[in-house]
Amino acid sequence: MLEDYKSALRAGQRAYRACVARGQSPYLAVLDDILVNVNIVAQEPLGLVEIPAESIVGTKTSGRHTAFASNFMPLLEPDTEFAAKWSNLCEAHLEEGIRVPIIAYEFLNKFYVLEGNKRVSVLKYYEAVKIAGTVTRLIPERNDSLENKIYYEFLDFYKLSKVNYVHFSKLGGYAKLQTLVCKASGESWTDDDRLNFASFYTMFSQQFHALGGEELDLTPGDALLVYLSVYRYSDACDSTPAQMKQNMEKLWNEVKVLTEPQAVELSLEPKQGPGEPLLSKLNIFTRPSELRVVFLHEHNAESSAWVRAHDKGREALAQAFPDRVFITCKENIEPEVDAEQVLEEVAHDNADVVFTTSARMHTACLKVAAQHPKTRILNCSLNAPHPLVRTYYPRTYEVTYLLGLLAGVLTKTERVGYVAANPVYGIPAAVNAFAQGLKTVRPEAKIVLRWACLPDEKHPLDFSDRPDVDIFYARDSREPAGTHRDYGLCRRLPDGSLKPLGLPVWRWDTFYVEIIRSIFDGAWDNDAAGARAVNYWWGMRSGAEEIVYDADLPAGTLQLLDLMEKLLSEDDLRIFPEDLYAQGHELHSPAAAAYTPKELMEMDWLDECVEGALPHYDELDVKTHTLMAINGLGNLKGLTK
């Protein structure tokens, strides 16, 4: 066994030299030193725990900590009593196994040994994955550090799962994992759940490291969230190592993009005319001469104004490129049932471009895009950080600002209604922009907020229960034609009928024509430098949105609106002031002088003039949960940016 000790000693000496070269301590971390000036608010006995060997990083006290390198390999000479005891433990392990659990403390999901340092050293030498130990958890006081916030998320997850070996580098990972393994937010795991997940995670982390994951500034857990966002957990558990390796290779760019500071490339305007890159000009023979384009809709044109609006864009696309674009359209596709199969079929039929007009189809888009990289797949949604699938959506906050201004001019009271569809990215910015427009002309006015995803008979979406609300905004064109939601901003008349005042129009023709033009021009591939995700988020300046006003509006009001729209289109109007106050008079300011597009997209709070709140996740139905999983606000799902 002495030869094994010498081998372990050499490993310890290598680790020692590497730490010294990096200017780090070459010895085991000492928990007592780490806890100086740390306020421990609770101690929790966990009993006998299977401790991940890689998470055992140090010793509880300073005694003997210099006998080990930072990787727990020994540093004392082979002729010492320490070496003899280590060798005897090694022999015992090979003959009958080390059965006596160590005693350890857990702090921030790392483990520090009180008794059993040599046992840990021997077991790590033999590459043990888990080590049995009696553990006491030390819980620190909450603070604003990222590590502390992630740890408190882990504590909530551990209560449900008893899983302690998955780590994340960003907030929100544990709540998202709970959802991706098909568990409700507060649902506990069974023993079978833990066994199945352990087997799956072991295979996944092996493939992650085999592909060079240790060279990325990511944990296997970070990559796992990407993988399970594309492949269903049940399917992933049934995969063979070869299948998982193949799937991981297809998703590797998706994983690597997480390491980039700007994972999403926001396209705020179509690229026009003479700015075509030189590389595109040189590669004229690689540009397509014709394209097969497919549109997939969740609903149909007869029942859905949303589909009818996209159909107008499809018709404009056909007119813009006659004899070059060949279009097919499929309707009534259930996102969680049919979408993946239909996408597979159109990809096998050699579709060049697929536009999916329901955000709920995004997950199916990801999986099929991973299998068919030559098919360009786009989804009508916002802020999805996936290079495999591009997204497109209008900057709705520009429109709602103008309609808020109009509401302030026309209302006869100090209360204006607003019906929001779902608590997804972009919606709080639209509500808050409406508030800024309203306060421009009525500084003391308030917004009464309601949600289409939370129907309530006592609080109808036409505000008929509120005589003090005579004007409201209720835009959701996915509803059938003829409902009040097709009116945008409207006034409720004394007889209960609704008079439209301003109807927002999303010009999908702008998106479809310009995106297809970018493919014909060869500019498509240049939009995603570094294989980043691309989100097309276009506004009034590009013609991607407009407002149809009531012809009976006063001429002066129309003139004011035209002026404000012109200023918006020329970027001469700042909708959001530098200092904004959220509900509770909480100050919000942009990181720089003005809010960036990303800050606006991810806005997750409401202006203090808003009466109402963001819905709680548990209030929403299953259909809305699916939408939330794709592009819902992180703070409503227990996730934080």
State how far the Cα of 203 lies from the Cα of 224, in Å rounded to an integer. 11
Confidence at residue 484, expressed as pLDDT on a 0 to 100 scale: 38
Q: What residues have CB less than 8 Å from 341, skipping those under 6 apart?
A: none
- Exposure b/e, 275-310, CB count within 10 A at least 16 = b: eeeeebeeeeeeeeeebbbbbbbbbebeebbbbbbb
Confidence at residue 416, expressed as pLDDT on a 0 to 100 scale: 97
Write the DSSP string, 46-104: EEEEEEEGGGEEEESSSTTGGGBBTTS-B-S-TTSHHHHHHHHHHHHHHHT---SPEEE
- Which residues, given as ranges, of the chain have pLDDT below 70? 1, 260-263, 272-286, 384, 475-487, 527-531, 635-641
First-residue to last-residue Cα distance in the chain: 51
Q: Residue 291: enclosing H or E segment and its boundaries?
A: strand 291-296
State how far the Cα of 384 lies from the Cα of 162, in Å rounded to an integer. 31
**Model confidence over 249-286: pLDDT tens digits?**
888 887 887 776 556 778 888 876 544 444 444 454 46
Strand ranges inside 94-148, DSSP E: 102-107, 110-115, 130-140
Q: For residue 360, give both structure tokens.
A: 């709920």
Confidence at residue 203, expressed as pLDDT on a 0 to 100 scale: 94
